[in-house]
Amino acid sequence: MLMKGIPASEGIELGKAYVLQEETDVDSGFQEYNGKHYELERFFKAIDEAKKQIRELKKKAQEELSEKDAMIFEAHLLILDDPEFLKMVERKIDEGKNVSVAVKESIRFFEEMLLGLNDEYMKERAVDVKDVGIRLIRILSGKSEPDLWNIPEDCVLVAKDLTPSQTAKMRKERIKAIVLEKGGKTSHAVIIARSFGIPLILGVKEATRMIKNGDLLIVDGNIGLVHVNPEKSVLENYRERIIDQYKERMELRDILHLETRTSDGRRIKLFANIGNLEELDIALKNNAEGIGLMRTEILFMNREKPPSEEEQFKFYRTVLERMRGKPVIIRTLDVGGDKIIPYLYAEIGKEENPFLGYRSIRLCLNRKDIFKTQLRALLRASIYGNLKIMFPMISCEEEVLKAKTILEECKEELRKEGISFDRNVKVGIMVETPAAALISDILAKEVDFFSIGTNDLIQYTLAVDRTNESVSYLYNPSHPAILRLIKMTIENAHKNGIEVGVCGEVASDENFVPKLIKLGVDELSVNPSKILVIKKKVLQTKSNEDIINM
């Protein structure tokens, strides 16, 4: 049997299926209603026990994964304290419903409400609500959690979806691959799979029904295929491909400590894009020369208010210390578009076109309180490493000047408070709007470096939403307009004595990298797992060959 899905984490693996069945049904033994007082007492005892379990998970995530993963469980605690949720359960108990039924119906209501929103981030929060609901129902029914720690060696985990609680508890070194019926490409399970190099396929319909425990599976995470109990010829073919994949990985380890230079000797800096400590681990393992893009918006998600200066400072300090003096470019808050954070957008309501609206530097310049808190935390952390600060989504010179003015205000405040910071911290911008590229000669005089964000640059230049299947074929990084804007940006930067990196997805595309090198880029910042693949491509590339006509 051949099953198809959406590839979400690369790689090919072979293993026996371990099917995780979804827990949604309330045990029939708990359907009897025993009076309001008794049902409410059981409800609040279950809430207390759930909080205890979640706090243990949070501690485990802090110790073994990252602060970002721990914040997911902080969001779960907030759900348990949500007054609307508590009121709904109490109201259903008042109506004469057993507490387990009341919880299940209330959870389903909020889950469906989130899934019905026209916002991918909020849709994916539905899994957090469901996770909390499953935990409460399990506690009320006296069931134990599925044991994902003692799963069989070298198994392929098959599930409808994986909650954050399950991914935190699963023994990742025993899992060869993951097959899911649901989930989004930015879900927690996908992030974990990519971080640990586990192939993962999403959207495999009826996988938990069609696949049985012990079935032999080939998971092709490169193209999204699952072979169930494959024929001998298919099995032999894939075994050869897995051996080739292993050999290629071993060959890449041989170039781990080589300096990144083109075949004709031109030096290219090879950095990593990260958003959490898991990705930092992979960047260090693959000998990244620095961090070319550290996303900070993850610190602001899954919570009801912005992170404090102290919380941000500790996180930035950890990253800088672990990089041991290598450059770390930290991007200031970049939200909006498909990254809507409710507490930041409560006042303005729904935008008709969020990608052209209140986002990134525009939000930060308006919410000076949030911006200054982040800048102060960054400046305080700057003495623990080689920090560079980067402003996103710039479209005019005024935005750069305003952002720099606010940064100077923060420096002055810290001076007066007697707090140390790097007084010469470098400041750069992302060039991701056509406007920024077209005035890059002006902007280059105001900053210390450029980083080209090709994802948005392509989208805005070609007027194409790459997530829209109807027009995604028009999303073309090699379009002459894109190549001209990149070339113009690099030339203007070099004329003003500053370097240019590329941190968009094309930097991780080994087929596009030669074009970037020939256009004159100084630095590539890539997905941490792609560092060695891109290094190999750079080593094979001759930098002075002619590029496609522009």
Among 161, 170, 158, which residue's Cα sits nearest to residue 209? 158
For residues 31 and 98, the answer to whether their CB atoms sit within 8 Å is yes
Active site residue 494: no
d(CA 330, CA 284): 17
d(CA 265, CA 243): 32
Which among 155, 188, 227, 410 is annotated as catalytic? 188
For residues 473 and 500, the answer to whether their CB atoms sit within 8 Å is no
d(CA 113, CA 98): 23
Residue 335: both structure tokens together? 């939200």
Give, for 12, the enclosing helix (H) or strand (E): strand 12-20
Return the bridge partners of 293, or none: 273
d(CA 73, CA 82): 14
* Per-residue CA distances from 161 to 94, 137, 164 (Å): 33, 18, 10
d(CA 67, CA 52): 19
* Per-residue CA distances from 147 to 144, 163, 164, 169, 172 (Å): 9, 14, 14, 8, 13
d(CA 484, CA 179): 41
Return the bridge partners of 389, or none: 330, 427
Longest dimension (CA), the chain: 81
Which among 155, 364, 410, 503 is annotated as catalytic? 503
DSSP string, 27-69: PGGG-S---HHHHHHHHHHHHHHHHHHHHHHHHHHHHHS-HHH
* Per-residue CA distances from 256 to 279, 283, 536 (Å): 17, 11, 10
* Cα within 13 Å of Cα(40), Cβ side: 13
Long-range CB contacts (within 8 A, 24+) of 492-495: 492/440, 492/441, 492/444, 493/440, 493/444, 493/449, 493/450, 494/520, 495/441, 495/444
d(CA 428, CA 387): 11
Active site residue 503: yes
Q: How far is CA 444 from the centre of its chain?
A: 30
Where b means 16+ CB within 10 Å and e means fewer, 87-103 reads ebbbebbeeebbbbbbb
Q: How far is CA 282 from the centre of its chain?
A: 14
* Per-residue CA distances from 329 to 254, 290, 410, 491 (Å): 28, 8, 19, 22
List, by residue number, the catalytic residues: 188, 503
